[in-house]
Amino acid sequence: MAKGDLERIFAALERSGARYLVVGGVAVVLHGHPRFTADLDLVLALDPANLRRALDALSRLGYRPRAPVSLDEFLDPATRQRWIEEKGMTVLSLSSPAIPTTEVDLFASEPFPFDAAYGRALRADLRDVVVTVASLPDLIALKRRAGRPQDLEDVRILEAIERELGRDE
Amino acid sequence: MSEAKSESGNDEQHREQRRAWLRLTYLQRLEWLEQAKRFAARALEAARARAESDEPQR
């Protein structure tokens, strides 16, 4: 069976050896709640070597920033900080003509201490590739902070899933 | 009373749906999302085509 768009992206990231965490709607689906999302939200470890690996992998899939900037500019911490301060940027949105139905959003700063969250992450086995997904508590905390109606609805459901999983233990 | 019963019935139904979802593999969950996206893309494309064909001819 042909790989879906998301599997292709995850496989490319795995091949690159990049450290990343899936957050956002795709993480909600993988944790066990069926809800629609067109975006893939990623938190990358922002050290230069890791960023380079991840950006190269995404670039090979045709991903480019939607804004008129280059992917390489995202590598520079001072530039990212300027975008955050001057443009209020939270994520850099990428699109690819090869994968038009999946936009990738990269967090411009780590929304939680990355290494600790990476250690707690869910390793979701998709048969040919293993995806690293922010843990339920980390995802809930992130969504509570974001605080938009969709985030708060996700929090309500993720907490119900947490209770459900707790009952099984 | 019947409303309270109905709400409790809904809660139980939601819990059962959640349990059913949690029994799916990660791959099955992701495939559901991929199918939903393909369906949405086709629906959007069809809506665009309808809108174009509805435009008055000049």
Tens of pLDDT along A134-156? 999 999 999 999 999 999 999 99
For the record, the structure tokens of A22 come out as 């899936």
Phi, psi of A58 (to 5 degrees): -70, -35
pTM, full prediction: 0.90
Tens of pLDDT along A52-87? 999 999 999 999 999 999 999 999 999 999 999 999
pLDDT-derived band at A168 (thresholds 50, 70, 90) equals: low
**Per the CB < 8 Å rule, is A36 touching B36?**
yes
Kindly tell me the sign of the dihedral angle through the C-alpha atoms of A92, A93, A99, A101.
positive
Residues with Cβ within 8 Å of A84's Cβ and at least 6 positions away in sequence, in order, are A90, A108, A109
3-state secondary structure of A127: coil
Residues of B with Cβ-Cβ distance to A95 under 8 angstroms: none
Residues of B with Cβ-Cβ distance to A41 under 8 angstroms: none
Mutate to test the interface with B, among A129, A164, A167 (most CBs of B within 10 A): A164
A102 to chain B: nearest residue by CA? B37
A35 CA: distance to closest CA in chain B (Å):
8
Residues 95-154 of A with CB under 8 A from B: 101-102, 124-127, 131
Helices (H) and strands (E) in chain A, counts: 7, 7
For the record, the structure tokens of A162 come out as 């947490």
- CA nearest to B4, candidates B12, A19, A71: B12
Tens of pLDDT along B1-41? 455 556 677 888 888 888 999 999 999 999 999 999 999 98
Supply the ipTM of this predicted assembly: 0.90
